[in-house]
């Protein structure tokens, strides 16, 4: 059993700027968050001495609202003494309910003629990333990837040997136990064991690199305090990618505590979050955080955002960064075969849909990229990942622009873009010739000094751009798959 995680081992939270708490947003009743802890005035210390408090991490504490007083009134009283106070906002898993009769939990029907497959892996061209990495003599395995969710069923047959001990910050069961199923589904999309003859394949093939961090309860709810602890814990354990298939409609600027934790975490980890499952509320938080990759979803059609996917609007203009397959849900014309095949606790499999399913695909890509390129920083990985998706007209083709400026995730291009950065160059050999006109110095201007060595490409893969320096060495290679 993993050793208990204490507040002292989760770092210190540093928050700056003015506070504008939103007490109308969903929050945990009966308590408030007090930000800061050093240099308090005598008046502040006196106010806190009369109430029950609990340390979340250094620099962040819970103060429990006295009986007969509202949370907002209690917060106002503390603020009057100079304390910085905010709600402990509620965050929930982002999952939609598929209403097809054959979806688990509904009436069901004889579906012997329906063969549900992982067509989403084909659509994001995961197999080309695996092939590319193998051509570079690399195993298609990822770095430590944290899954902030409801826990992960480590005993599942398709996750054997894949799951680290992790930690739980809500409930009483270990992070490797999942009473809800949402976290197991998310973890499976990222890293279900591939090529084992069972179930399905995750984006990252193998290795013990899935870090379950239980921040959502068995009912799928967590709070600012659990998320802050979860984010800091993931960073402390060396996670290079953090997946958050969860969110809230709270305006991110009002959750100063989580905002600060995410900002600090982004220095070392690629942060990925589901954008949300309502089309009219804008991008949810934490996906709307400026340093988080906001992932929307396409359903059965690559050229159209899924009916449920969050998207920018006039009130909430924050754009989506990437869209990836998330299942058809209950959109018009949806069928069971168009949903996402996922893992479920107890060695089971199920169907699901939502941006909770699209975000893990992007996290898997980022994990492969950082494993293939150990010297890439989190910010470089994020920039390269976003530059590898296609920006042409309409989602159906990899080379067409997409509505709203979104880009559909392309695993092959994301990983193939940088097989090795700043270490030794790798080789990937094709037969054929690359026309000289396709070599472009402009392709590597943003990343001077990053060197790659790529052999010639066949005519069927002529959509290939790279640049060559004065010595003839390839500077940057981008497989436009």
Interatomic CA distance for residues 406 and 436, integer angstroms: 31
Instruction: Kindly tell me the sign of the dihedral angle through the C-alpha atoms of 47, 49, 51, 55.
Output: positive
The encoded tokens of residue 104 equal: 């688990």
Identify the band that residue 134 occupies on the pLDDT scale cut at 50, 70 and 90: low
What predicted TM-score, i.e. pTM, was given to this entire model? 0.77
Catalytic residues: 149, 182, 356
pLDDT greater at residue 93 or residue 162: 162
pLDDT at residue 132, rounded to an integer: 65
Q: CA-based diameter of the chain, in Å?
A: 78
Interatomic CA distance for residues 330 and 317, integer angstroms: 26
DSSP state of 43: H
Instruction: Kindly tell me the sign of the dihedral angle through the C-alpha atoms of 295, 299, 303, 309.
Output: negative
pLDDT (tens digit per residue) in 462-479: 233 333 333 333 333 332
Is-contact 61 53, C-beta < 8 A?
A: yes
**Pick from 221, 254, 184: which is nearest to 94 by CA?**
221
DSSP-assigned letters across all residues of 118-180? -HHHHHTTHHHHHHHHHHTT--S----EEEEES---TTSTTSTTTB---EESSSSS-TT--SS
Rg (C-alpha) for the chain, rounded Å, is 23
pLDDT at residue 138, rounded to an integer: 67
- Asked if pLDDT for residue 103 goes beyond 80, the answer is no
Residues 6+ apart with CB under 8 A from 355: 94, 245, 274, 275, 276, 277, 295, 296, 297, 308, 309, 310, 326
pLDDT at residue 447, rounded to an integer: 32
Q: For 431-453, what is the mean pLDDT?
A: 32
Is-contact 257 60, C-beta < 8 A?
A: yes
Span between the terminal Cα atoms of the chain, in Å: 44
Interatomic CA distance for residues 240 and 84, integer angstroms: 31
Interatomic CA distance for residues 326 and 309, integer angstroms: 9
Instruction: Kindly tell me the sign of the dihedral angle through the C-alpha atoms of 209, 161, 246, 231.
Output: negative
pLDDT at residue 260, rounded to an integer: 96
Q: For 88-114, what is the mean pLDDT?
A: 53
Strand 53-57 to 221-223 pairing: unpaired
C-alpha 148, offset from chain centre: 9
Identify the band that residue 126 occupies on the pLDDT scale cut at 50, 70 and 90: confident
Instruction: Give the highest mean pLDDT range of 114-118, 202-206, 309-313, 426-430.
Output: 309-313
Interatomic CA distance for residues 477 and 132, integer angstroms: 12
Residues 6+ apart with CB under 8 A from 208: 161, 162, 163, 164
pLDDT at residue 405, rounded to an integer: 35
State yes or no: cis peptide before 217, omega within 30 of 0. no
Q: For 208-234, what is the mean pLDDT?
A: 96
Instruction: Give the highest mean pLDDT range of 221-225, 446-450, 453-457.
Output: 221-225
pLDDT (tens digit per residue) in 254-279: 999 999 999 999 999 999 999 999 99
pLDDT at residue 410, rounded to an integer: 55
pLDDT (tens digit per residue) in 382-441: 988 887 776 553 432 222 233 333 454 555 555 544 443 222 223 222 223 333 333 333
pLDDT at residue 258, rounded to an integer: 96
The encoded tokens of residue 413 equal: 């291009």
pLDDT (tens digit per residue) in 282-321: 999 999 999 999 999 998 887 788 999 999 888 888 888 8
pLDDT at residue 460, rounded to an integer: 30
- At 244, is the secondary structure helix, strand, or coil? strand
Mean pLDDT across the chain? 77
DSSP-assigned letters across all residues of 103-122? STTS-----TT-----HHHH
C-alpha 375, offset from chain centre: 21
pLDDT greater at residue 50 or residue 416: 50
- At 254, is the secondary structure helix, strand, or coil? helix
pLDDT at residue 304, rounded to an integer: 84
pLDDT at residue 397, rounded to an integer: 23
Task: Give the phi and the psi of residue 242 in degrees, each rounded to 5.
Answer: -125, 120
**Residue 387 exposed, middle or buried by CB count within 10 Å (0-12, 13-18, 19+):** middle
Task: Give the phi and the psi of residue 341 in degrees, each rounded to 5.
Answer: -80, 125
Is-contact 298 325, C-beta < 8 A?
A: yes
Per the DSSP assignment, residues forming a β-bridge with 247 are 92
């Amino acid at each position: 059993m993993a050793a208990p995680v204490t507040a002292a081992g989760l770092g210190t939270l540093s928050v700056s700027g003015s506070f504008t708490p939103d007490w109308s947003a969903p929050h945990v009743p009966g308590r408030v968050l007090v930000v800061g802890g050093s240099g308090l005035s005598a008046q502040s210390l006196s106010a806190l001495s009369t109430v029950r408090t609990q340390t979340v991490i250094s620099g962040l504490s819970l103060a429990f609202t006295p009986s007969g007083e509202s949370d907002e009134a209690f917060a106002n009283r503390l603020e009057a003494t100079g304390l910085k106070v905010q709600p402990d906002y509620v965050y929930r898993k982002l999952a939609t309910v598929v209403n097809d009769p054959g979806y688990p939990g509904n009436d069901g029907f004889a579906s012997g003629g329906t063969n549900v497959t992982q067509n989403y892996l084909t659509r994001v061209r995961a197999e080309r990333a695996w092939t590319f990495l193998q051509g570079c003599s690399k195993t298609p395995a990822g770095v430590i990837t944290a899954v902030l969710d409801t826990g992960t069923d480590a005993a599942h047959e398709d996750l054997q040997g894949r799951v680290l001990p992790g930690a739980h910050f809500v409930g009483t069961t270990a992070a490797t136990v999942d009473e809800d199923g949402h976290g197991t589904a998310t973890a499976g999309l990222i890293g279900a064991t591939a090529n084992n003859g069972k179930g399905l394949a995750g984006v990252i093939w193998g290795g013990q690199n899935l870090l379950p961090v239980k921040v959502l309860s068995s009912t799928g709810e967590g709070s600012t305090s659990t998320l802050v602890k979860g984010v800091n814990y993931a960073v402390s354990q060396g996670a290079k990618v953090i997946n958050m298939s969860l969110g809230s409609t709270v305006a991110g600027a009002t959750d100063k505590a989580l905002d600060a934790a995410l900002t600090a975490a982004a220095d070392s980890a690629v942060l990925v979050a589901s954008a949300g499952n309502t089309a009219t509320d804008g991008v949810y938080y934490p996906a709307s955080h400026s340093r988080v990759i906001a992932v929307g979803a396409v359903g059965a059609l690559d050229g159209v955002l899924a009916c449920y996917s969050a998207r920018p609007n006039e009130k909430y203009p924050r754009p989506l960064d990437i869209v990836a397959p998330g299942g058809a849900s209950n959109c018009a014309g949806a069928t069971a075969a168009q949903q996402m095949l996922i893992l479920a606790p107890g060695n089971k499999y199920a169907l699901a849909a939502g941006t909770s399913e699209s975000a893990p695909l992007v996290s898997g890509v980022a994990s492969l990229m950082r494993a293939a390129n150990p010297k890439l920083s989190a910010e470089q990985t994020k920039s390269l990942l976003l530059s590898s998706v296609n920006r042409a007209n309409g989602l159906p083709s990899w080379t067409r622009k997409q509505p709203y400026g979104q880009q559909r995730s392309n695993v092959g291009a994301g990983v193939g873009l940088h097989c090795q950065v700043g270490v030794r160059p790798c080789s990937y050999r094709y037969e054929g010739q690359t026309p000289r006109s396709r070599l472009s110095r402009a392709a590597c201007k943003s990343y001077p000094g990053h060197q790659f060595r790529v052999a010639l490409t066949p005519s069927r893969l002529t959509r290939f751009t790279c640049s060559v320096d004065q010595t003839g060495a390839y500077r940057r290679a981008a497989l436009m798959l």
